[in-house]
């Protein structure tokens, strides 16, 4: 289990890069890396050389989130002005523009089957679900406010502000993380809130289910810790510490044996889940690492594991994961 640096693309964007995801391979092309930046563009990159495939403009204010449909045909990007642009990956044709005011848009993720796009709704304290066929809002999953706290949460923003979303691999559950560190679990089919997971007390900016075990959820928080939860049993299985500052993003490897995380401490770490310890620390970035993403398996004969990381230093790094 290790990472080996393959390629680093300096100045991949004109400004800080805030979001990255892999667009799965289609029959006609291999998987592509999709990045979003403060410079209001979304760019597509061919691996392993990180050649620029295309630049999508049209967003205002920074691009905070990108998501790719499991089919690899369409993708979505969202910016601070709360618009979600859904587009065709290969032609860059706009398929739809989504907004649900006054809800902002933070993290987004397509469900494993590709029928629903879940969007973290920030201050609306909810997750918006969009049907990918009609691009209509189908459901709003609201995070219940904590009991007995009618007084508004203090202004530093430790409210239930929803920042991040993650689908369970079976598509039945949806988890969302919020500013105050609580994690909410929803039953998607019934559009019902199930329970909270506690343990973090600072913003949870990224979370991900294990691809091999639909119960296991990994969360990354500003409290520098990565927690491992049994999302069904409401219990915390363990915690991993090692980052010196906020953990901004995490992703689970396709084999489910490792977690990669990016942090404000400018490092990317690889965690061995058996040892529950960091086995490798990559410090090639010179600023906060805003996103890490494992390339999904599949495609034309591409077996090798790849991890991409993007950072405030405007660069993209690609690693071989083996």
Partner 1 sequence: MVSVYIPVQNSEEEVRVSLELLPRDASDILDILKAEQAPLDLWLVIAVLKTVSVLQFFDSRFREYFKQGKIEQFRQILEEGSSPEIDEYYADVKYERIAILNALGAYYSYLGKVETKQREKDDHFILATQYYNKASRIDMHEPSTWIGKGQLLLAKGDLDQASAAFKIVLDDNRDDNRDNVPALLGQACVLFNRGRYSDSLELYKRALQVHPNCPASVRLGIGLCRYKMGQFEKARQAFKRALQIQKMLRLLWPLESWICKQMKAADETWKGMEKMQKAFEIYPYCAMALNYLANHFFFTGQHFLVEQLTETALAVSSLGLMKSHSYYNLARSYHSKGDYEKAGMYYMASVKECNKPHDFVLPYFGLGQVQLKWGDFRSSLSNFEKVLEVYPENCETLKVIGHIYVQLSQTEKALEVLRKATKIDPRDAQAFLELGELLIQSDAGAALDAFRTARGLLKKNGGEVPIELLNNIGVLHFERENLRLAGLAEQTFREALGDGVWLSFLDGKVHSPPVDSDASSRQYNDLQFFRRLEEEGTAVDLPWDKVTTLFNHARLLEQLHDNEKASILYKLILFKYPDYIDAYLRLAAIAKARNNTQLSIELIGDALKVNDRCPNALSMLGTLELKSDDWLKAKDTFRAAREATDGKDSYATLALGNWNYYAALRSEKRGPKLEATHLEKAKELYTKVLVQHPSNFYAANGAAVVLAEKGQFDVSKDIFTQVQEAASGNIFVQMPDVWINVAHVYFAQGHFALAYQNCLRKFYYNTDTQVLLYLARTHYEAEQWQDCKKTLLRAIHLAPSNYTLRFDAGVAMQKFSMFTLQKTKKTADEFCICSVTEENTIDFECLAFDALYVPVRSTVAELKNAVRVFSQLSTASSLHYHGFDEKKIETHVGYCKHLLDAAKVHHEAAEREEQQNRQRLELARQVSLAEEARRKAEEQRKLQLEKRKQEDLLKQVRQQEEHFKRIKEQWRTTEPASKRKERSQMEDEDGRGEKRRRKGGKRRKRDKKSRYEMDETEGDMMDGEMEDDDAYVNNEDDGNRMNDQEDDKADNNAQVLAAAGLEDSDAEDDAGAPSSNINRRRRAWSESDDDEPSVRQLEASPTRENLAEFPGSDGEA
Edge-first strand order for the sheet with 258-263 is 247-252, 258-263, 268-272, 277-282
Instruction: Tell me the closest approach of the beta carbon of residue 265 to partner 1, in angstroms.
Output: 6
Asked whether position 125 contacts partner 1 by CB under 8 A, the answer is: yes
Asked whether 178 and 203 are in contact (CB, 8 A), the reply is yes
DSSP state of 181: S
Contacting residue, 3, 6, 9, 18, with partner 1 by CB under 8 A: 18
Give the range of 55-63, 110-118, 252-260, 291-299 binding partner 1 by CB under 8 A.
55-63
Give the range of 3-11, 119-127, 186-194, 297-305 binding partner 1 by CB under 8 A.
119-127
Contacting residue, 43, 128, 173, 266, with partner 1 by CB under 8 A: 266
User: Cα(64)–Cα(126) distance, rounded to whole angstroms?
Assistant: 17
Instruction: Tell me the closest approach of the beta carbon of residue 87 to partner 1, in angstroms.
Output: 13
Q: Which residues pair with 315 in a beta bridge?
A: none
Asked whether position 32 contacts partner 1 by CB under 8 A, the answer is: no
Contacting residue, 48, 198, 213, 320, with partner 1 by CB under 8 A: 198
- In angstroms, the Cα distances linking 182 to 91, 227, 263 are 39, 12, 19
Contacting residue, 81, 90, 213, 320, with partner 1 by CB under 8 A: 81
Nearer to partner 1, 25 or 217 (CB): 217
How much of the chain is in helix, strand and coil states, percent to nearest 5?
Answer: 0, 50, 50
User: Cα(239)–Cα(118) distance, rounded to whole angstroms?
Assistant: 27
Asked whether position 239 contacts partner 1 by CB under 8 A, the answer is: yes
Give the range of 1-9, 190-198, 254-262, 302-310 binding partner 1 by CB under 8 A.
190-198
Instruction: Tell me the closest approach of the beta carbon of residue 300 to partner 1, in angstroms.
Output: 36
DSSP state of 122: B
Asked whether position 220 contacts partner 1 by CB under 8 A, the answer is: no
DSSP H or E run through 229: strand 225-230
Asked whether position 161 contacts partner 1 by CB under 8 A, the answer is: yes
Give the range of 20-28, 166-174, 218-226, 292-300 binding partner 1 by CB under 8 A.
218-226
Residues ≥6 apart with Cβ < 8 Å to 117: 67, 76, 84, 86, 98, 108, 109, 110, 111, 129, 130, 132
Asked whether position 64 contacts partner 1 by CB under 8 A, the answer is: yes
Contacting residue, 265, 270, 285, 307, with partner 1 by CB under 8 A: 265
User: Cα(69)–Cα(125) distance, rounded to whole angstroms?
Assistant: 24
Residue 53's Cβ-count burial label (10 Å; 0-12, 13-18, 19+) is: middle
Contacting residue, 41, 224, 253, 309, with partner 1 by CB under 8 A: 224
User: Cα(135)–Cα(301) distance, rounded to whole angstroms?
Assistant: 33
Instruction: Tell me the closest approach of the beta carbon of residue 198 to partner 1, in angstroms.
Output: 5
Asked whether 127 and 177 are in contact (CB, 8 A), the reply is no
Contacting residue, 9, 13, 43, 200, with partner 1 by CB under 8 A: 200
The site for partner 1 (CB under 8 A) is made up of 15-16, 18, 38, 58, 60-62, 64, 80-82, 101-102, 104, 106, 122-125, 152-159, 161, 163, 179, 181, 195-202, 222-225, 229-230, 234-246, 264-266, 275-277, 287-288, 312
């Amino acid at each position: 289990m290790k990472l080996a640096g393959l390629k680093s693309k300096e100045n991949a964007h004109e400004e800080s890069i805030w979001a990255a995801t892999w667009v799965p391979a289609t029959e006609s092309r291999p998987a592509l890396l999709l990045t979003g930046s403060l410079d209001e563009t979304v760019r597509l990159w061919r691996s392993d050389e990180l050649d620029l495939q295309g630049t999508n403009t049209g967003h205002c204010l920074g691009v905070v989130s990108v998501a790719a449909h499991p089919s690899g045909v369409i993708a979505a990007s969202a910016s601070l002005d709360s618009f979600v642009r859904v587009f065709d990956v290969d032609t860059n044709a706009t398929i739809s523009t989504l907004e649900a005011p006054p809800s902002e848009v933070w993290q987004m993720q397509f469900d494993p089957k590709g029928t629903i796009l879940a969007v973290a709704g920030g201050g609306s304290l909810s997750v918006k679900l969009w049907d990918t066929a009609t691009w209509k809002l189908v459901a709003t999953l609201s995070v219940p406010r904590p009991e007995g706290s009618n007084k508004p949460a203090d202004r530093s923003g430790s409210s239930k502000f929803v920042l991040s979303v993650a689908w369970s691999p079976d598509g039945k559950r949806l988890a969302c993380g919020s500013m105050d560190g609580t994690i909410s679990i929803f039953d998607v089919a019934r559009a019902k809130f199930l329970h909270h997971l506690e343990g973090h007390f600072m913003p949870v900016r990224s979370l991900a289910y294990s691809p091999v075990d639909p119960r296991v959820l990994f969360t990354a928080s500003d409290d520098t810790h990565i927690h491992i939860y049994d999302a069904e049993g409401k219990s915390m299985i363990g915690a991993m510490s090692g980052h010196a500052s906020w953990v901004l993003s995490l992703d689970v490897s396709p084999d489910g044996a490792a977690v990669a995380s990016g942090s404000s401490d400018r490092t990317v770490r690889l965690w061995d889940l058996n040892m529950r310890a960091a086995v490798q620390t990559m410090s090639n970035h010179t600023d906060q690492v805003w996103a890490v993403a494992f390339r999904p398996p599949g495609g034309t004969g591409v077996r090798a594991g790849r991890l991409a990381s993007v950072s405030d230093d405007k660069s993209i790094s690609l690693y071989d994961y083996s």
